[in-house]
């Protein structure tokens, strides 16, 4: 799935773990771990993690400025 296809699916700006994993090209397990550890902006809706697209994009910009790297 391309980034363009992913962008079209987030009309409300709320993403699931599956969406974020595809968007960041990480495993779903990695996204869950990062959310639990507070390494990525996320919130819970009941038992499910959700992510605001705008916050994910801002987080990416912050993490990549000045040579910072996303967690491996």
The CATH number of whichever domain residue 58 belongs to comes to 1.10.10
Residue 24 lies in a domain: yes
Within a domain: residue 42?
A: yes
Which domain covers residue 33, as residue numbers? 3-67
Domain count, the chain: 1
In this predicted structure, what is the pLDDT of residue 67?
62
Look at 71 and 21; give whichever has higher pLDDT.
21
Higher pLDDT among residues 9 and 18, named by residue: 18
Global pTM value: 0.76
In terms of Cβ atoms closer than 10 Å to its own Cβ (0-12, 13-18, 19+), residue 16 is middle
Residues in Cβ contact with 50 at an 8 Å cutoff, skipping those fewer than 6 apart = 14, 15, 16, 42, 43, 44
The Cα–Cα gap between 43 and 35 comes to: 8
User: Residue 61: inside a domain, yes or no?
Assistant: yes
pLDDT in tens, 18-70: 999 999 999 999 999 999 999 999 999 999 999 999 999 999 999 888 665 66
Is the distance from CB of 38 to CB of 47 less than 8 angstroms? no
Residue 37 Cα to chain centre, angstroms: 13
């Amino acid at each position: 799935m391309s980034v363009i296809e992913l962008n079209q699916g987030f009309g409300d700006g709320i993403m699931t773990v599956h969406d974020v994993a595809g968007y960041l090209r990480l495993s779903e397990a990695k996204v869950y771990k990062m959310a639990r550890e507070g390494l990525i902006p996320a919130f819970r809706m009941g038992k499910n993690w959700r992510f605001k697209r705008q916050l994910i994009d801002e987080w990416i910009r912050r993490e990549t400025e000045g040579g910072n790297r996303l967690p491996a």
